[in-house]
Structure 1
Amino acid sequence: MNKQFYLSAVAAAVSLATTVQAAEIETIEVTATKRVENAQSIPVSVSALSADELKNLKIRDTTEISAQVPNMQISTPGGDSYPVISIRGISMDDYSINQSSSVAIYVDEVYKGNPSLQSGQMFDLQRIEVLRGPQGTLFGKNSTGGLVNFITKGPSWDTGGYLTAGIGNNNRKEVKGAYETELSDKLAVRVAGTFTEMDGWKKNSFPGAADSNAIDEWAARATFNYLPTDDVDITLKVAASKANPYNYAYTNIPGEAGYGAGYYELFNNAEVGLPALFGVTPPEGAPQNSYFVPEGQDFDEIQEDHVLKREIENSSASLNIVWDVSDEYSLTSITSFDSGDITIPEGDGSPNQVNSVVVSGDTTQFTQDLRLTSNLDGPFNYIVGAFVSKEEIDAPTSLSLFQDLDLNVDGNLDYLDCYDPLAAAFGLEMSPNGQQVEEALLTEGASLGLFASLGCSLQNDYTQEKTSLGLYFDGSYDLTKDTKLRFGARSTNDVIELSNFNAGYYGSDGTLVVPTIAQELLPEDEIDENEWSGKVSVDHILSTGDLVYVSYNRGYRSGAFNGQSFNDPSEAAPVDPEILDAFELGFKADFLSRQLRINGAAFYYDYEGQQFINVDPNTAAQTLQNIDSSTIKGLEFDITAALTDDLMLRAGFGYLDTEVDGGVISGVDVSGNQLTQSPEYNANIGLDYNQTLGDSGSINWHVDGTWSDKYYFDIHNTEAIAQDAYAVVNARVTWTSPDEGYEIAIWGKNLTDEEYLTKAFDLSGFGGVMAHYGQPVSYGAELTVNF
């Protein structure tokens, strides 16, 4: 799918809509302004996916939402359970488990700040709302790029439900369903659940090792709606989920010297390396050569010695109370508690142990939102509120390097393979074997100290507490009958505290070789910052009933500590907040008696202080660092066309021009570079045709596609890990019985078997690239019973 084809297809569809009698496009109500409003009447760029659209699109996880929203991309540094979202070029570059994304995740208006709290949402949904642009006034910090709000289904005060069972390739099995009923004339309940299991689609040729990229997860939710009086509405939601599949594995793309950069040939090879020189037998089972991809291996195949299971388990409860104090005012209280555990073990996609990471986090979060909403007859209305949250996370992390490399060439794999290179680097006494290696390397003008930290497992552990207090006001004033001024501000105090911090280098046998960081050595252990976010906009309803608007929004992402500090206390120094000033001009218009809807926006961003991982080229110290500033300019369009009574088109188009104005990362000036996950052009298109079969029911024919221009995964715009332009096509066919009691569907995803990256890292110092790929062609069938 190229740009010319996409634009031609949309133009042809619009032409068809002008010549064929078609149904009106339905009104979509959203809660983007914390009021239930027509999406066409608010000056916010929002894409809403209804329950029917989610079903037809076969949205399986958060990563697939971006294919339906212009200027939205999602990468997967930790697999599909750890998505990093980019909206209009705003994303995060530090993937530490203690960090919060610059695009916020909400579930039923409850903020989910940590990845361990975000899984298990994609079932029994009423809709998904994606808000583009800063949302700091009503939603607070860490919504700099925008937010994704999952709205789950609640009781409808009827009795009934559904049950869906499905199968697919790679031995996919899934069951999901929901049931609701009245428990009394004032109390109703809805329970829903899902279970999915699938073998890994990335086949592993290493003997005895598991296939990767599997699915093994379940989730459940119960929603109680209690109406004690006509003026009080109470909703209690409790939920739990667990995922424990074989993890998402990297594909390893070695360089000329192989993955391992020739180190195995030097230290482990009995024929050409130092073992041959010293007459030492290499450790039993240790590889003697760097890794090269076997001939004929495809992107959906790997050869990795240890694919482990990731585990993400969480539970949550939220209480939403709405009290209509009078006809003019309502009071809303939303209280929530979440807990989650996450462990993500990552290998390197090779049979050697060049590098592996285990990220863990044990998180609890409490939030309270209290707000007063007016509904006055006059020109002025407002929302005023207070928000408090408290998050605590215990976050051990390990980064293990060359655990199968005999760096002191003594025929063993133990703590000395970590100690001797460090001793050589700092002029300390080495073991006899280490001294022998040092002398041999010195004759070649090298030193064992060049390999310091290789052979070590770098480990840290700490507790981080975040406390956030926000006071906010959001108001609107009718300047005229058709013109509205909207304005708002939020003041936020964030306190982030580090405690119990320790880090050290460990040998492959688990021995502590050297402690590197202790709590009392940290340069700072507390961040206490006060920031504001706000907005002002003017929107006008034209004589046609269409909306035009101009807006300014200020958003911010809080400062942070570096959760990947291993080597020196200075690495844990805090980084400043990110600040975004966003200017937007937009319109929302219906044409042809509401048979054609086009929403569009142009925007300009001044983005200061984006946070990046910075590796000092002289000391190898790894810190968090702000770049000076970036500029983002862009356009986007959402198009819906009722081509006939039975044929509906939905499409989106995005354009981005991102550029770093100034900044140095890892010793390299990145000025003029493109921001990460920011393709210049992107587009999506979908068609739904409902075919009536009379007494035989009906068939829905659905096809959708997404196309993205080239983009980069790092701020250095490294070509080796760039994603070239690509397209993905999906389809679904659903038969519904005449009484709508049964549905049978067949579906296919990535029907052209497109090969594309979802995340990649340049590890050329280790001899290659590590890349996550999107799932190849998948397909299946489902049976749904409605009752």
Structure 2
Amino acid sequence: MKAMKRSTLATLINATLFSAVAGTSFSTLAEEAQAKSNQLEVIQITARKRVENAQEVPVSVSALQGDNLDAYSSAGMDIRFMNAKIPSLSVESSFGRTFPRFYVRGLGNTDFDLNASQPVSLVVDEVVQENPILKGFPVFDIARIEVLRGPQGTLFGRNTPAGLVKFDSVKPSQEFDGYAAVSYGSNSSIDFEGAAGTGLTDKISTRVSVLVQDKPDYIDVKAPGFEKEDSLGGYNEMAARVQFLYEGDDFTGLLNYHVRDLDGRPIAFRANLIEKGSNNINPLYDNDVVYHDAASRSTQEVDTQGLSLKLEWDLKEHTITSISGWESAEIYSRADVDGGYGNDFAPTMGPGFIPFSSETADAIPEHDQYTQELRLSSNFTGDFNYQVGLFLFEEDLTIESYSFDTGTYDEAAGNYGLQNGYAVQEQETSAWALFGSFDYSVSEQLDVTLGLRYSDDEKDFYAKRTDNPTPWNGSPDFLEGRANPSDSHVSWDLSATYKLTDDVNLFGRLANGFRAPSVQGRILFGDVVTVAESETTNSIEFGVKSDVLDGQGRVNATVFYFQMDDQQLTAVGGGSNFNRLINADKTTGYGFELDTEWVLTDELNATFNLSYNKTELEDDTLAVAVCAQCTVTDPTYTIQGPNGPEARAILDGNSLPHAPEWISNATLRYTKELEGGEFFVYTDLSYRSEIDFFLYESIEFKGEALFEAGVRAGYAWNSGDNDYEVSAFVRNLFDEQVVIGGVDFNNNTGMLNEERFVGAEFKVKFF
């Protein structure tokens, strides 16, 4: 391992010392402080598939719930609201609302292909969401979000070497309760969500949750000859979840059906958004202006649905759990990817130089995922307990990719944009696993856990191109490609928790994670199906979890180091606009995470979170194609490609793409009893440091640091059996405008973050 810089090492040591001091000196202060009535609530999580106190789990985990979750996710926000709201977690997308990409401790996947594998898994109501489109399901009526950092291969399986994001919806109960919330905001956005649940019989209860979001198009097109106001940026989204819960004496059953329907526009690409020789935003642009010549055909339609059944038998000393799941996704997304008008072959073009037009679409016409988990858990009163189980996974997936000639008239469609390219991918995935986790209390202070999992994974992949959109490269129209990768692996973890005092727990964890082989076969613009071998991760972390100030403060801190062998990376784009999978020999990372929460006074609560992540590729033979127009700062060399000389950037020593070194978040909530109700003000601040958009480093495609602030103020009161709340809110308070992603194969195209959003909300909770 290369030596750490002194400043970085000092930061790590200081963070560790601070957390240790927090568990001792703060406790001493608490003994001298005047006792207060309000304390922090105990956070119960299911990070180890048991309900446990988060402070006693030997995993670096953060949870969003309550006021924080409500404020972040309300009023039209999609799942990307989680970006920089939790230590070491960032979220981005080049599809907009439909295809989130998660990064934990700098590990993620920038691939935009609809078959892209990610090292951060998403589990919703105990069912894994494997395909990227499934991961974008809206967030509503959610009880808790948990983010588990580091490999989670033992209990949650393959494709979790970086971590896990876990959603748990509010479950039915015998008590009648529910809520309804409606908001109105910038650009005439209207959002409604609500839920209601009750007992149907003394053993059966139900809960119905719905979401409706509508935002009209608000982005104007100003390309000469294509001018149109309010052409892009809008969406109409509907989603629902219906649950039925049966609770017998020793048996429970939970049926969950969920559905999503989105009709909207893709994220707006902007040609030459980034000024050459810098990463400054072109002054021609703001959030509500583009210069597209294919905006009229841009669309994004998504339909997903799923069904899960959880059955649980309580046998006193054991519990048997069965979780069966089915998920299905369909999407059609078409966009003006070059982000401008015209090209080098047309009479006019802009903004700036447009080498060639790029109008493409990707679709999933067919998709089915089936999962089955069977688990046996012990409920012994002694020092030893365990979980063992079996997991099965099957997925059938079809992906279609289209290219269009923007300047050619399509007689059948009655507009421009004649289809000139088509390719299809078909993949069947079969995986199974056996797993076990064994807990032993060595003493009253020390608990240890050993986990093991055997995973077996196989893919059968076929791709076919019938129409080549770039015939000048000499490739044929008809092309086929096949791949059949498979592998098996034993993942493991060993962890321990030591109770230093009643309020301070120390923990350590060694863990191994595994991501199954991946296939990249989007051969619309390329001629090769590429396969990435399995990647494995070994991680070590130590931390402290402490409740301080007599329960009015909480300080959790973790330091970690990991080494990933054969990391799967995607060389996205490059001058040839073709995605290739590669394996890096070794990737290392280290850093720390700090979670704190405080009751400052009876009226003032605060949180402060901070993380540092340093990642580095270590492979002096690894090189990738570079951008068409940007300024590369990595060492480069030239090879002879099929269309002439091609530059390659050497990646050794680079950090990973979309991997900010620093993430920080702070919240402050003030409440004051007023006129029979409660006045409140909630503020949040989030920061993530600069990032590289691609594996290579360049001046233009280095994203600036992003700082965003939000404020929410309102009044809450009770009348009869109901609670009411009215509030006004602002997101991105200072209207910070930053490039958050790029397209590198054509011009210096980029995407902007969401602009300032102002709105008001009315909410009622009924019991």
The TM-score normalised by the length of structure 1 is: 0.82
Confirm or deny: 8 A CA contact 1:176 1:194 kept in the other structure. yes
Q: Identity percentage over the alignment?
A: 28
Map of 2:690 onto structure 1? 710
CA deviations on 1:321-348 (whole Å, 9 max, x unpaired) are 11102x2100000001111101222212
Map of 1:688 onto structure 2? 669
Equivalent of residue 297 in structure 1, options 285, 292, 295: 285
Map of 1:220 onto structure 2? 240
Match of 2:498, as an amino acid? H
Change (3 A) 1:694 1:19: farther
Equivalent of residue 781 in structure 1, options 757, 760, 765: 760
Match status 1:752 vs 2:734: yes
Post-superposition offset of 1:528: 1.8
Matches within 5 A, 1:106-121: 106-121=123-138
Aligned-partner SS, 1:320: strand
Question: Partners in 2 of 1:251 and 1:734 — Cα distance?
Answer: 37
Post-superposition offset of 1:461: 0.3
Match status 1:231 vs 2:193: no
Change (3 A) 1:620 1:709: closer
Match of 1:780, as an amino acid? G
Equivalent of residue 554 in structure 1, options 488, 512, 532: 512
Matches within 5 A, 1:601-750: 601-614=558-571, 623-662=580-619, 663-666=622-625, 667-695=648-676, 697-739=677-719, 740-750=722-732
Aligned-partner SS, 2:501: coil
Equivalent of residue 761 in structure 1, options 734, 743, 746: 743
Change (3 A) 1:46 1:254: closer
Match status 1:177 vs 2:177: no
Equivalent of residue 95 in structure 1, options 97, 106, 112: 112
CA deviations on 1:688-732 (whole Å, 9 max, x unpaired) are 11211142x112210000012111111112221111223100011
Change (3 A) 1:746 1:97: same
Question: Partners in 1 of 2:131 and 2:597 — Cα distance?
Answer: 34
Map of 1:333 onto structure 2? 322
Question: Partners in 2 of 1:257 and 1:166 — Cα distance?
Answer: 41
Post-superposition offset of 1:132: 1.0
Change (3 A) 1:381 1:350: same
Match of 1:665, as an amino acid? V
Map of 1:466 onto structure 2? 429
Give the RMSD, CA atoms, in angstroms.
Answer: 2.9
Change (3 A) 1:627 1:322: same
Map of 1:583 onto structure 2? 540
Post-superposition offset of 1:303: 1.4
Equivalent of residue 498 in structure 1, options 457, 461, 468: 461
Map of 1:390 onto structure 2? 394
Question: Partners in 1 of 2:137 and 2:380 — Cα distance?
Answer: 39
Post-superposition offset of 1:590: 1.0
Confirm or deny: 8 A CA contact 2:428 2:461 kept in the other structure. yes
Change (3 A) 1:686 1:101: same
Comparing 62-71 with 198-207, which one deviates more in the overlay? Answer: 198-207
Change (3 A) 1:303 1:637: same
Question: Partners in 2 of 1:775 and 1:82 — Cα distance?
Answer: 16
- Which consecutive residues of structure 2, in runs of 5 or more, have no partner in the other structure? 1-10, 343-355, 412-417, 626-647
Question: Partners in 1 of 2:553 and 2:47 — Cα distance?
Answer: 23
Confirm or deny: 8 A CA contact 1:20 1:643 kept in the other structure. no
Map of 1:164 onto structure 2? 181
Question: Partners in 2 of 1:734 and 1:365 — Cα distance?
Answer: 43
Post-superposition offset of 1:254: 6.1
Question: Partners in 2 of 1:151 and 1:257 — Cα distance?
Answer: 45
- Which structure: greater strand fraction? 2
Confirm or deny: 8 A CA contact 2:730 2:759 kept in the other structure. yes
Match of 2:739, as an amino acid? L
Comparing 211-220 with 367-376, which one deviates more in the overlay? Answer: 211-220
Match of 2:155, as an amino acid? L
Post-superposition offset of 1:232: 0.4
Map of 2:641 onto structure 1? none
Change (3 A) 1:124 1:515: same
Map of 2:631 onto structure 1? none
Confirm or deny: 8 A CA contact 1:575 1:625 kept in the other structure. yes
CA deviations on 1:182-231 (whole Å, 9 max, x unpaired) are 1111111110101010123533334237532222101011110112x211
Match of 1:371, as an amino acid? R
Question: Partners in 1 of 2:104 and 2:34 — Cα distance?
Answer: 36
- Which consecutive residues of structure 1, in runs of 5 or more, have no partner in the other structure? 259-292, 406-411, 415-454
Match status 1:311 vs 2:301: yes
Confirm or deny: 8 A CA contact 1:649 1:685 kept in the other structure. yes
Confirm or deny: 8 A CA contact 1:94 1:611 kept in the other structure. no
Aligned-partner SS, 1:486: strand
Change (3 A) 1:372 1:311: same
Confirm or deny: 8 A CA contact 1:21 1:645 kept in the other structure. no
Comparing 350-359 with 22-31, which one deviates more in the overlay? Answer: 350-359
Change (3 A) 1:21 1:617: closer
Map of 1:146 onto structure 2? 163
Question: Partners in 2 of 1:100 and 1:335 — Cα distance?
Answer: 22
Post-superposition offset of 1:622: 5.0
Confirm or deny: 8 A CA contact 1:192 1:221 kept in the other structure. yes
Match of 1:247, as an amino acid? P
Aligned-partner SS, 1:609: strand
Post-superposition offset of 1:116: 2.5
CA deviations on 1:84-111 (whole Å, 9 max, x unpaired) are 1111010013221112211111111100
Match of 1:786, as an amino acid? K
Question: Partners in 2 of 1:693 and 1:489 — Cα distance?
Answer: 55
Confirm or deny: 8 A CA contact 1:251 1:299 kept in the other structure. no
The TM-score normalised by the length of structure 2 is: 0.84
Match status 1:31 vs 2:17: no
Confirm or deny: 8 A CA contact 1:21 1:644 kept in the other structure. no
Match of 2:696, as an amino acid? H
Aligned-partner SS, 1:98: coil
Aligned-partner SS, 1:32: coil
Question: Partners in 2 of 1:257 and 1:249 — Cα distance?
Answer: 20
Match of 1:670, as an amino acid? L
Comparing 370-379 with 249-258, which one deviates more in the overlay? Answer: 249-258
Question: Partners in 2 of 1:492 and 1:77 — Cα distance?
Answer: 31
Aligned-partner SS, 2:531: coil
Change (3 A) 1:479 1:161: same
Question: Partners in 2 of 1:614 and 1:192 — Cα distance?
Answer: 40
Confirm or deny: 8 A CA contact 2:464 2:478 kept in the other structure. no
Confirm or deny: 8 A CA contact 1:168 1:780 kept in the other structure. yes
Map of 2:352 onto structure 1? none
Post-superposition offset of 1:399: 4.2
Aligned-partner SS, 1:334: strand
Map of 1:267 onto structure 2? none
Change (3 A) 1:395 1:335: same
Aligned-partner SS, 2:187: coil
Change (3 A) 1:396 1:377: same
Map of 1:440 onto structure 2? none
